Amino acid sequence: MSIFDEPKIDGHCHILDPQRFPYGLDIAYKPAGQEMGDADYFAHLMDSYGIQHALLVGPNSGYGTDNSCMLDAIGRWGNRFKGIAVVDNNCSMSDLKDFQSKGVIGLAFNVALKGFNFYSDIEPLLVQLRELDLFAQFQVEGDLLCDLLPMIERTGVKVLIDHCGRPIMSNGLRQPGFQALLKLGEQQKAVVKLSGFAKYSQTGYPFVDVDPYIDAILKAYGLSQCIWASDWPYLKAPYRLDLGPLIKWVERRFSKEERHQLMWETPKRIFGF
């Protein structure tokens, strides 16, 4: 059996369909060309690569806090998709419950894009997420995770970390943000996505310079707290990326048994598919 036939769950991808769901007028970055992809096309892509389920993440690009496109995909495709929504920091408990009833399992906080100060007031929102057993998903870069740790520890919210925490490669394994990421894993307080390598690798595919960071994450988290994700359709990618080679990267790094846990058993359990 080829790796493309093995069952998979994609832990991070986006649906962008401006023909049916126009971008917001006040959005700074509006994806175009191959950065876009609607739910129907992505479902065909999933079938081609053995991806049975996917966690859709609301993109700040194009849609901001408008989750209509993502919710439509979840509604039309049933249990094939679940979602991570983007909301205002003062989102109400009733709105969170409504999102949850529609297949949303958490909220995304893109600290790498907006900075910590933008999210400095989200502790009440994190408490609400904990009460509803929803995830707080953080995309950080460099040492930004250090700023978030006090709120994470006080609230006890379930945490998803995007793209290996996006370390700054020149700062090495000892950089404080990456050490904070490893600490969360050792304490079993987070799940990390092995994804987004083009955002921080300095060598490009097959991203061999990322290997020491992956090794450290696997040691701290274990395969029971790591998931694979494609990051399709590669918003703001610095060069051409395709799903097939990214799946082959997993084959280079992991045995068939390890892949089954990383790409199927762990995300199935964590996301409730």
Q: Give yes or no for a contact between 13 and 232, defined as CB atoms under 8 angstroms apart.
A: yes
pLDDT of residue 206: 96
pLDDT of residue 215: 98
pLDDT of residue 164: 98
State the alpha helices, DSSP H only, in 32-143.
39-49, 60-63, 68-77, 93-101, 111-114, 123-131
The residues near 78 (Cβ < 8 Å, ≥ 6 apart) are none
One pLDDT digit (tens) per residue for the chain, 273 residues: 799 999 999 999 999 999 999 999 999 999 999 999 999 999 999 999 999 999 999 999 999 999 999 999 999 998 999 999 999 999 999 999 999 999 999 999 999 999 999 999 999 999 999 999 999 999 999 999 999 999 999 999 999 999 999 999 999 999 999 999 999 999 999 999 999 999 999 999 999 999 999 999 999 999 999 999 999 999 999 999 999 999 999 999 999 999 999 999 999 999 999
Q: By C-alpha distance, which of 160, 165, 158, 240 is closest to 196?
A: 165
Element (H, E) at 226: strand 226-228
CATH class of 3-271: alpha beta
pLDDT of residue 78: 86
Q: By C-alpha distance, which of 107, 104, 69 is closest to 86?
A: 107
